[in-house]
Amino acid sequence: MSLLNVVIKLRDLILGVSKNQTLLHKSLENDKEISFRIKEIKAMEVLKPYFPDSYLFETSYSISFQTLQHLANDIVVYRPKTILEIGSGLSTIIINNLLKELNYDVKFFSVDQDLGWQKTLSKTCDLVLFKHFDLINSNSFSFDGTGTWFDIPSNSELLSMKFDLILVDGPKGHESKFARYGIVNFISDRLNPNSIMYIDDTHREDEDLIVSDLVKRMDLKIVNRGYNYCRLSFVDNINTKPF
């Protein structure tokens, strides 16, 4: 036996791992990534009729098409009357165009801190009620009341409404620690018995905490976990998850 093989066996014995196990783990990771890409292509095909007429603006920050397909299924099945989106973007365009085709009577609010970006989106999103709020420190809705979140004025109509469908994909995670946690405190008394919530980027620690606290504090159930997102509701009726 060569010296290299002896070293490998000693490593495996000490660490409790094997070379074959390591290779298998890497293979499974690759398979998971390939599966995700295939499902993304399928979701893109389903959602393609609702893409913008011009250039499809997509970045690494964009929500996955699988998540949007799942959310679109919920819109078709549950016909929400009020939709709240935190973080305007590609999702805003697709939801807007889907609602136009369905001709549902829906109030669709999209909240973001970037007014210029919202003005660009508003040119093609005629059904969306855009709400622009700056991010401020010591926000009462934030993680500990001293963090950052949207500066929603006391006379905002959002504070007097309940929402059937909520999508949380903002503010951007790099804005501050627990940048999106404000949704937990904001939404606590603004849900209906059949409300559905989507939290994106739940592979990250901050967003995973949001999910945990929504479950603990509001009795929401984790109905589905997708690739880097989570769907929560009080009830688990029809399975709307694609694939």
Q: What is the pLDDT of residues 126-169, one digit of tens each?
A: 999 999 999 999 999 999 999 999 999 999 999 999 999 999 99
For 2-15, the pLDDT digits (tens) are 665 655 565 555 55
Provide the 8-state DSSP code for 40: H
Provide the 8-state DSSP code for 158: G
d(CA 60, CA 196): 25
d(CA 208, CA 48): 30
d(CA 77, CA 68): 14
Please count the helices (runs of H) and the strands (runs of E) in the chain: 7, 9
For 23-48, the pLDDT digits (tens) are 545 554 567 888 888 999 999 999 99
CA torsion sign for 159, 161, 162, 166 is: negative
CATH number of 48-233: 3.40.50.150
pLDDT for 200? 96
pLDDT for 26? 54
For 178-192, the pLDDT digits (tens) are 999 999 999 999 999
Two tokens at 153?
């004025």
Whole-structure pTM value = 0.86
pLDDT for 130? 98
